[in-house]
Amino acid sequence: MEQTTPTQQPKKLFTNKPKRFNNRRTFDRGRKPPHPGGPIDIMAEPLEKKTAHIPAPLPGVIRVIPLGGVEEIGKNMTVIEIGDDIIVIDAGMHFANENTPGIDYVIPNTRYLEERKDKIRALIITHGHLDHIGGVPLVLSRIGNPPVYSRNLTILMTQKRQAEFSHLPPMNPIIVETDQTVKIGELTIKFWGVTHTIPDSMGIIIETPYGNIVTPGDYKLDQVDGIVSEREEQEYAQFDNANNLLLLTDSTNIENEGFSLAEIKVHQGIEAILRREKNNRIFIAAFASHITRLIRIVEIAEELGKKIVVEGRSMKTNIDVITQAGLLKPSKGLIIPVEDIEKYPPDRILVLITGAQGEEFGALNRAANKTNKKLTLRKGDRIILSASVIPGNERQVQAMKDGLSRQGVKIISYRTPGEDFVHATGHGNKEDIKWLHRKMHAKFFVPIHGHHYHLELHKELAMELGMLEANIVVPDNGSIIEITHDGTKIGVRKEKAPSSPMMVDGFSVGDEQNVVIRDRQMLAEDGMFVVMAVIDQKTGMLRKSPDIISRGFVYLKENQELLRQTRILTKRTIEASSKNLNPNNLDNIKNIVGETISKYLLQKTAKRPLVIPVILLM
Amino acid sequence: MEQTTPTQQPKKLFTNKPKRFNNRRTFDRGRKPPHPGGPIDIMAEPLEKKTAHIPAPLPGVIRVIPLGGVEEIGKNMTVIEIGDDIIVIDAGMHFANENTPGIDYVIPNTRYLEERKDKIRALIITHGHLDHIGGVPLVLSRIGNPPVYSRNLTILMTQKRQAEFSHLPPMNPIIVETDQTVKIGELTIKFWGVTHTIPDSMGIIIETPYGNIVTPGDYKLDQVDGIVSEREEQEYAQFDNANNLLLLTDSTNIENEGFSLAEIKVHQGIEAILRREKNNRIFIAAFASHITRLIRIVEIAEELGKKIVVEGRSMKTNIDVITQAGLLKPSKGLIIPVEDIEKYPPDRILVLITGAQGEEFGALNRAANKTNKKLTLRKGDRIILSASVIPGNERQVQAMKDGLSRQGVKIISYRTPGEDFVHATGHGNKEDIKWLHRKMHAKFFVPIHGHHYHLELHKELAMELGMLEANIVVPDNGSIIEITHDGTKIGVRKEKAPSSPMMVDGFSVGDEQNVVIRDRQMLAEDGMFVVMAVIDQKTGMLRKSPDIISRGFVYLKENQELLRQTRILTKRTIEASSKNLNPNNLDNIKNIVGETISKYLLQKTAKRPLVIPVILLM
């Protein structure tokens, strides 16, 4: 007979969990390494066509579907469908959060595209950030692997992402430049350069008979104190006399007044700090994706005669990619391995490090927790947190700062009073957005990135700028927007493209994980409680006292009496109803036992564990 | 034989979970109603004395122990021990977060006090907020139910809290006023009035032979643009020539420059909005604990001829308590039941509502989700979010704003540009803190509230103001601080009082929940996987194909092949090692099966469910 000892927590012999569960931040963003490249999608593909009821757009109609990015920040993906051609813009991801325990990350729903593969001519990427490229490998493999168009650095970043999925077919990249016009299917497409935190960011212009569809991707203006640079004016000059039909753009910072802080002010701020704190080791924790800043920091460090240590996987990867792209040309010996850090005096050390969000396994957080074997902080070290705190990460960032401050370091963050600027957003604020609308003077407007509230505020702003309400659509993920009547009307179809997020959960990718996630949430709240009994089929009596397996419910060691009473109650409940039993009505007994035990446990503990009765007839 | 159908998710017949698990925000703060008053502490009390190694303070020594509040925001509790007398200041709580799934709330560790009950003379409460009174009922019952001293409203609020635990003995309240001097044990104790967001907030002065121990509790200055009111100057005038030995105070807002925004500016701001938006229904979502503001809003509403609807349990409770305390005197018919809301035109309706943090079951969030049966929002309603977003709640507040904006309401928050002020913090900013230090000119300083980083910044500030580093202690929860040598030295003992947080988890309260929480976190990430097999003891073969019960792992419906293979593998693994089996080496087979199945599932799914093998010999 099964010998679970119900008086102690069963040993966790079989789980082999690494240090992942150190009682902190289990549901962190980015807590897991990216997809390890194993066999994707063990699920059977559902055969049923889920979008068959959605007709193809009529001739002359322009269809636009945001498949991701409009009910969230992240997982951007927008579909443009005209005639026989579908163009997909971006294929991003976002990280899981406390509502999606155990999930690795989330990508847009691709069903609409999967069922129209033969029409898909291209995936065009605006820039190389994960919220625009993170879903590329999985999306490409689902939509027939169309060619991927973008500028050089973006293609390199996307290939790096693709390389994490080595079992998937390689992508077919086509590098474009901003002075190029490409013909994709029947469509003529052009590009222009925009300012973001990563070089080679570009906007997209799709020509149509009624005018252009334009989207800048993520952008801010290259301006200082509201004066837009000449370079930027030149990039946008082509729109002055353009016939723009539809503007698709970002609402992330619609709540922020004024123009976004110029990145150059941050470069100046960081340089000033480096010059002022010249006797101390400097750690700069920045987003590894903030390529523009990384490049400038490396330059400043070289000017000041410092050696650079690069810490954290994504930071190393990105420094490699931008070096390969020729955007960074560090002189020999400038970047040193972390092992050599003690060979130089403090005033010669600058560490570029990941983990400004307090991510559980981020290099800086491990240093804060003293679990970073390669890197030990010292009293007097200066830690520049050159990043904003992503909403939802506040508590983990606070915990990291607490850990850092215990080690006698000085933390300089964008909240530190009197310090120079150490961070600026990469997205345009309200004035940047207004400038864009005026420059584009498009007939129609669809906001394609942000939470719903942001989109509504953006709509209000567009109306303040003179746009008609009827010419604006605030979409949801999956909204099928159409421009009809020779480009004079915009509206939303009554059908909707499937839009529930695709969850990447280990090797599985699917949009039907809700049941699994709900169970995880229940288990996380109250744990589980398996009660097992074997009924003697001759006597209807139990062969022995029931066994109990429970995890995550109560501290069993201190609840022996509860377990004893539960066993007695189980035995009594079964034996009261097991007269003339046959295997066919075991289910009934299971139901009774489950209900009885659930009620009893709730009454005694105020907890509702997932009760699973296992009853055998032998 | 057990008939679990392994090809589908077993039905959740036995859990009876209410709508709590609607796939959102499972680990919300405040998601659960307060303790329902059932049987507390089914755990056996550990007999072992955990603090026996800590000697009593020597004669002439002043001992101070922050048992909570210095590694977090919340669960404030500070112990003062002099000679034979122990005074406890405050007994707060904080809510659970994503690191403590399933936990209801957390209170300070009381073991040090439990083992010194006979010395405890009083619990003195500074003010009636949950982070200072939320732990009172459970703490009192553990430390011998000493008398509770505070001012009138605080006592009423604490009694309201106590009433939720009807099985506990009633508390013994002693109402004090700020002009009173009380003798508690051998100690002489005085009070003074401080400004916070709730009336009757008070500071505490404990006289000692070397000078006073002073703590203001939570406070901000009653000032406008840096000019402190006469009333406030009078309250603090007594300190001008006082001999203050030790200042214990709060560091919450140490990172905020300047003085805190005056509450009167918020009152003016809200009044201005009410006058401007006079044709619309107004909803004001505020902290129910912000009594000062609630009182003023009710007054303004009455002046403007509006009817008031009070929505949300804690809002109703607090309106009741302050009416009972005589702080609110609403004229008859001013407050109307929610059912009558449609009887008045929009311009006559003001709704005071809970849920500004987007709490899952907050009244406003339910209105945003259209699950608030009593309250339906209408296009044109004005929603004033008269509260800051507590760190960690950003995502749920965003989700609520999205839901609200879908209903055509206008949201006015403290971020809304160009609007009047709608919220101010209740804690002093840096200039308030500096003013306090100068006014108190104490010899020693111990920060007693905030995250460690805040405490360190506060220490830096105190040194800038001229205090010696040797006279400042930055404590952890449980640090035993002593003032020795006739009041000339302060230091920390090497022993520490037990300080791991006491988790309130249903009816259980304990400081050893780590195992349970770790299991919940594992279950939340990867779920569970029970594999059951019955071995025929004569043949060593399985009696039938193994059964599988799994939850929260993979979507079983689409993973039938995986389950089939797992059953085959289980059978093969068992039968390969079940020759000459006797019940005593079943454990060995269980280990082998567990390891084999864990490895197999990891390889196939990249997930690590909690694998539980159940193997019976029959």
Measured CA to CA, the distance from residue A564 to residue B492 in angstroms comes to: 46
Nearest to B515 among A1, A9, A516 (CB): A9
CA atoms within 13 A on the CB side of A445: 28
β-bridge partners, B551: B528
Q: Is residue A250 annotated as part of the catalytic site, yes or no? A: yes
pLDDT of residue B2: 32
Q: What mean pLDDT do residues A494-502 have?
A: 96
Residue contact A604–B521, C-beta within 8 A: no
Nearest to A115 by CA among A51, A65, A161, A62: A51
Report the gap between the CA of B527 and the closest CA in chain A (Å). 6
Nearest to B554 among A15, A16, A516 (CB): A516
Measured CA to CA, the distance from residue B385 to residue B352 in angstroms comes to: 11
Residue B433 pLDDT > 90:
yes
Q: In this structure, what token pair is assigned to residue B600?
A: 């197999």
Asked if A528 reaches chain B (Cβ–Cβ under 8 Å), the answer is yes
pLDDT of residue A48: 62
Residue A41 pLDDT > 60:
no
Contacts of A110 by beta carbon, 8 Å cutoff, 6+ apart:
A67, A139, A142, A143, A502
Asked if B608 reaches chain A (Cβ–Cβ under 8 Å), the answer is yes
pLDDT of residue B98: 84
Nearest to B524 among A25, A523, A555 (CB): A523
pLDDT of residue B7: 33
Say how far residue A595 (Cα) sits from the centre of its chain.
40
Mean pLDDT for chain A overall: 90
Residue A5 pLDDT > 50:
no
Residue B34 pLDDT > 50:
no
CB contacts, 8 Å: A546 with chain B: none
The proportion of chain A whose per-residue pLDDT surpasses 90, expressed as a percent, equals 82
Residue A459 pLDDT > 60:
yes
Indicate the pLDDT class of residue A582, thresholds 50, 70 and 90.
low
A contact test, residue of B4, B20, B26 with most A CBs within 10 A: B26
Residue A46 pLDDT > 60:
no
Residue A7 pLDDT > 60:
no
Measured CA to CA, the distance from residue B351 to residue B343 in angstroms comes to: 14
Residue A45 pLDDT > 90:
no
Q: In this structure, what token pair is assigned to residue A279?
A: 């006797």
Query: Among the listed ranges A64-78, A573-587, B122-136, which one has the minimum average pLDDT value?
Result: A573-587
Indicate the pLDDT class of residue B514, thresholds 50, 70 and 90.
confident
Residue B125 pLDDT > 70:
yes
Indicate the pLDDT class of residue A37, thresholds 50, 70 and 90.
very low
Nearest to B601 by CA among B532, B531, B543, B535: B531
Indicate the pLDDT class of residue B416, thresholds 50, 70 and 90.
confident
The proportion of chain B whose per-residue pLDDT surpasses 70, expressed as a percent, equals 91
Residue contact B595–A14, C-beta within 8 A: yes
Q: In this structure, what token pair is assigned to residue B86?
A: 């122990």
Asked if B398 reaches chain A (Cβ–Cβ under 8 Å), the answer is yes
Asked if B553 reaches chain A (Cβ–Cβ under 8 Å), the answer is yes
Cβ–Cβ < 8 Å for B338, B311: yes
What pLDDT, in 10s, does the model give residues A353-397? Answer: 999 999 999 999 999 999 999 999 999 999 999 999 998 899 999
B613 DSSP 8-state letter: E
A contact test, residue of B520, B559, B588, B602 with most A CBs within 10 A: B520
Asked if B463 reaches chain A (Cβ–Cβ under 8 Å), the answer is no
Q: What mean pLDDT do residues B536-561 have?
A: 90
Provide the angle, in degrees to the nearest 10, between the axes of the packed helices B313-324 and B291-303.
80
Residue B111 pLDDT > 80:
yes
pLDDT of residue B266: 96
Asked if A616 reaches chain B (Cβ–Cβ under 8 Å), the answer is yes
Contacts of B541 by beta carbon, 8 Å cutoff, 6+ apart:
B535, B575, B578
CA distances from B423 to A305, B269, B305 (A): 48, 9, 23
Indicate the pLDDT class of residue A581, thresholds 50, 70 and 90.
low
Beta strands (DSSP E) in A289-397 are: 307-311, 335-336, 349-353, 382-386
Measured CA to CA, the distance from residue B598 to residue B616 in angstroms comes to: 19
Nearest to A372 by CA among A461, A290, A312, A452: A312
Residue contact A405–B456, C-beta within 8 A: yes
Residue A517 pLDDT > 80:
yes
pLDDT of residue A583: 60
CB contacts, 8 Å: B601 with chain A: none
Residue A350 pLDDT > 60:
yes
pLDDT of residue A616: 86
- Model pTM score: 0.89
B contact test, residue of A1, A5, A15 with most B CBs within 10 A: A15
Residue B18 pLDDT > 80:
no
Interface of B with A in 134-173 (CB under 8 A): none
Q: What mean pLDDT do residues A140-169 have?
A: 96
CB contacts, 8 Å: A430 with chain B: 417
Residue contact A27–B524, C-beta within 8 A: yes
Sheet of B410-412: strands edge to edge? Answer: B335-336, B307-311, B349-353, B282-286, B382-386, B410-412
What pLDDT, in 10s, does the model give residues A321-347? Answer: 999 999 999 999 999 999 999 999 999
Measured CA to CA, the distance from residue B374 to residue B371 in angstroms comes to: 9
What pLDDT, in 10s, does the model give residues B151-190? Answer: 999 999 999 999 999 989 999 999 999 989 999 999 999 9
Higher pLDDT, A441 or A31: A441
Residue contact B604–A39, C-beta within 8 A: yes
Asked if A581 reaches chain B (Cβ–Cβ under 8 Å), the answer is no
Query: What's the distance, Cα to Cα, between the start and end of chain B in Å?
Result: 12
What pLDDT, in 10s, does the model give residues B218-261? Answer: 999 999 999 999 999 999 999 999 999 999 999 999 999 999 99
Q: What mean pLDDT do residues B368-392 have?
A: 94
| Complex ipTM value | 0.88
pLDDT of residue A511: 87
pLDDT of residue A145: 97
Residue B295 pLDDT > 90:
yes
